[in-house]
Amino acid sequence: DQQVKQNSPSLSVQEGRISILNCDYTNSMFDYFLWYKKYPAEGPTFLISISSIKDKNEDGRFTVFLNKSAKHLSLHIVPSQPGDSAVYFCAASETGTYKYIFGTGTRLKVLA
Amino acid sequence: DTEVTQTPKHLVMGMTNKKSLKCEQHMGHRAMYWYKQKAKKPPELMFVYSYEKLSINESVPSRFSPECPNSSLLNLHLHALQPEDSALYLCASSQEGWGMETQYFGPGTRLLVL
């Protein structure tokens, strides 16, 4: 049972435009969500997080939106840059469980 | 400093070998994690240590043996592995592991079992 899903395996965006990556979850007990960027054969790099008491968090070009009623979160990257090309994972955790559940990833390609 | 280091970067071992992976962090984090990641798949949790005690073992085969000698170090001892164990092994750490924390990952060890 995949508790965290990223339904788009890949996404291509022109440089300078907005990239929107989506993530859905099923467990209503998740209360903290994170986005990671990953290059091949490297560890995930933390980008941005959001707790369930917020609906938006912004850090530079990256903004994460959380819609708890829809159990949906999204990552917006504006403007997109070629260096943003990577695989993006969302992850969710539930306080007290020690576990972080990762989505299947979305490969973002930013075209110059 | 949000650095988690892992050694070695690459490891090739035979099915009868014994080897160890090492992970280190100096952020004062008290929770440390081992993940396994296969190509085009998300990281899969293997073990969690909190305050140097094993908190979670995700039904990992006994040929993988974790060890947490102190709050900064995490080892993964490997013995009699199978070719299907070839993967990227990731170490991560977070403040305490209890909740609403960011996990920081190391660069991983790329393991090939022949």
- CA–CA separation, B15 and B18 (whole Å): 9
At A16, which amino acid appears? G
Distance from CA of B16 to the nearest CA of A (A): 25
Give dist(CA B114, CA B97) in Å, integer: 35
Instruction: Give Cα B17 to chain centroid, integer Å.
Output: 18
pLDDT of residue B1: 64
CA–CA separation, B32 vs B104, rounded Å? 9
Q: Kindly list the residues from chain B whose CB atom is less than 8 angstroms away from the CB atom of residue A102.
A: 42-43
Q: How confident is the model at residue A47 (pLDDT cuts 50, 70, 90)?
A: very high
> Which of B55, B99, B107 is facing A32, going by the closest CB pair?
B99
The 8-class DSSP code of residue B95 comes to: S
Q: Could you list the mean pLDDT of each consecutive 10-residue stretch along chain B, which spans 114 residues?
A: 90 94 96 94 94 94 96 96 96 90 95 96
CB contact under 8 A, B2 and A44: no
Q: How many CB atoms lie within 10 A of CB B76?
A: 23
The answer on pLDDT for A103 being more than 90 is yes
Type and span of the H or E element at B58: none
- Rounded distance between C-alpha atoms, residue B68 and residue B52, angstroms: 6
| Cα B34–chain centre separation | 3
CA distance A18 to A78: 5
Average pLDDT over residues A42-67: 96
For A2-46, what is each residue's pLDDT tens digit?
899 999 999 999 999 999 999 999 999 999 999 999 998 789 999
Calculate the CA A24 to chain-centre distance: 10
Are A8 and A107 contacting, i.e. CB atoms less than 8 angstroms apart?
no
Instruction: Answer yes or no: do A89 and B43 touch at CB < 8 A.
Output: yes
